[in-house]
Amino acid sequence: MELSFLGAAGEVTGSCFLLRTESVRFLVDCGLFQGGREAAGKNKRALVSDVAQLDFVLLTHAHIDHSGLIPRLWSLGFRGPIYATQATIELLSVLLPDSAYLAEATVARRTRRGGRAVADQDSTPLYTVAEAAEPAAAGMRRDFRGISGARNARPAHRRWRSQRDDPR
């Protein structure tokens, strides 16, 4: 089993760990990088190369530095299950739209301050309030038995991967 440290490595925020076996690959947490000049860039670059390969996401808890890239993952095309406890799911229905609101407000403030000189990268929020609501409504699963379901689907995953001739 391979474990990759995608965030919160040498820093506090951006908790995200990719676990890969022959049959399944999943994230433990999907957190936002927060604070510092590099955070915005790290958030935009994160997950881009991993999203198509993921089977599911497991969230340990709702804090934004553990969950705040879920809407980004969704807008990058991920449509698999996101497993969390009922309490985490309920908190995320508030926290993710709030995180989006803050992202939108930050961009609006920068645009006001910098006018048209603001670089493209800073002129769009990482995700909008509407985008944040989508995975919160559609992707969350509290029935953890679904995870063993993913394991049962192993032959299908293998076939799919070999058809795509995926080197990873």
Partner 1 sequence: MRAKVFTIGGLSAHADQPTLLDWLANFREPPRHTFLVHGEQPVSEAFGEAICERLGWEVAIPARGSSVIV
77 binds partner 1 (CB under 8 A): no
Q: Are 63 and 16 in contact (CB under 8 A)?
A: no
Binding mask 128-167 for partner 1 (x = CB under 8 A): ----------------------------------------
For residue 42, give the 3-state DSSP assignment: helix
Tell which positions 35-74 bind partner 1, by CB under 8 A: 61, 63
Determine whether 77 is exposed, middle or buried from the number of CB atoms within 10 Å of its CB (0-12, 13-18, 19+): exposed
Specify the stretch interacting with partner 1 by CB under 8 A; choose among 2-10, 81-89, 90-98, 100-108.
Answer: 2-10
One residue of 15, 43, 67, 128 binding partner 1 per CB under 8 A: 15
Distance of closest approach, residue 97 Cβ to partner 1, in angstroms: 21
2 binds partner 1 (CB under 8 A): yes
8 binds partner 1 (CB under 8 A): yes
Q: What Å distances lie between residue 90 and 70, 114, 147, CA to CA?
A: 15, 37, 20
H helices then E strands: how many in the chain? 8, 6
One residue of 10, 77, 155, 167 binding partner 1 per CB under 8 A: 10
Q: Are 71 and 135 in contact (CB under 8 A)?
A: yes
What letter does residue 26 receive in the DSSP assignment? Answer: E
Interface residues toward partner 1, by CB under 8 A: 1-12, 14-15, 17, 61, 63
